[in-house]
Amino acid sequence: MLRLGQLYTDGVFEVTRPVAGSIESIEVQDVQQGQVVVGFDIPSKLMYLDKQRDLGRQFVWKYEIHDTEYYVPMMEWARCLYVKNRTLANLMLQPHGLELIIDDIKLRRETMYIDFNKRFPVTIAQKKDSALHIAWVRGNEEILSSWESIYSYLFRSASKKDSLNPKNVFREGIPLKFDLPLLKPCELMVRCIRKGNQVLVQEIMGISNLNLPAEKLVYTHPILKKQIGVNGVKKTRITDSSEEEDVEITDENNFAKENTYQDVLDVPPTFYGFVNKPEILIDRKERQK
């Protein structure tokens, strides 16, 4: 999921081109204490939609803080809180998506244990901050409920419009709406457009005061193993390469193997500030070499 208000060329983030807006810090006492409006309700001096129906129907959170009106697109809330990479964007649009990459999760004596499976790309699993982010979503019932409300809302909206084939509605696009989690208080670092006492948030660059209900996080992944040496003569496998075969590659095979080493396209990183950030350990199982 691409950041709102950022510049991309063919899906690649433009790091050299300057973007509009200024950097500000916003203290929000309760992110749920706002008003849900639509794009057409944003003052025209901040964004003039000029009867662009698709944009005007998008949902936006409006906050009034110290006599200032802040407009935060619902899509940017979802990206900031949950979409750290492409894998999470895909999982978010599936029922109970996180369960597809987690075999087991438990909390024992202030330690959270998570067993990831091969559906979780190892390139992400190697990053401890990414594992912490998933643990924060999956390990907090309030956060998990918010995550799952995204799919629930989109599916209900699509089913109402086309109960026989809701996928058609997904292709056309649905204004995103979901239940924000209980985060209070928190501080947002944003890039925004300000006109007097009215502010349009283009990008949430960081969010603070997050909490994981554990002092330590320990997680496993089938590919992340510890190498150990064994005594004995090394075995060499000899293959017959005298006959070569032409192989035709097609994308129509429904039985392709999952690529656990797939490239992971991270969006520009969002800073997650945790209260008492836990110790993070990778439990690497042993394998011979």
> Along the chain (289 residues), what's the average pLDDT of each consecutive run of 10 residues?
59 62 94 95 89 86 96 96 93 94 96 97 94 96 96 90 78 88 92 96 94 96 75 52 37 41 55 93 75
Q: What pLDDT, on a 0 to 100 scale, did the predictor assign at position 169?
A: 78
Which of 278, 273, 275 has its CA nearest to residue 110?
278
How long, in residues, is the chain?
289
What lies within 8 Å, CB to CB, of 7 at 6+ separation is 13, 14, 17, 19
Strands 68-73 and 198-210, bridge-based pairing: parallel
Residues 6+ apart with CB under 8 A from 31: 61, 77, 180, 181, 182, 183, 184, 186
- Tokens 């192989």 belong to which residue? 247
Q: How far apart are CA 261 and CA 122, in angstroms?
A: 6
Contact 40, 54 (CB under 8 A): no
Q: Buried b vs exposed e over 168-190: b needs ≥16 C-beta within 10 Å?
A: ebeeeebbbbbebbebeebebbb
Q: What is the pLDDT of residue 43?
A: 94
Q: Is the whole model's pTM more than 0.85, yes or no?
A: no
The Cα 151–Cα 138 span in angstroms is 15
* Pair 118, 257: CB distance under 8 Å: no
Q: Name the token pair of 168.
A: 């058609």
What's CA 269's distance to the chain center, in Å? 11
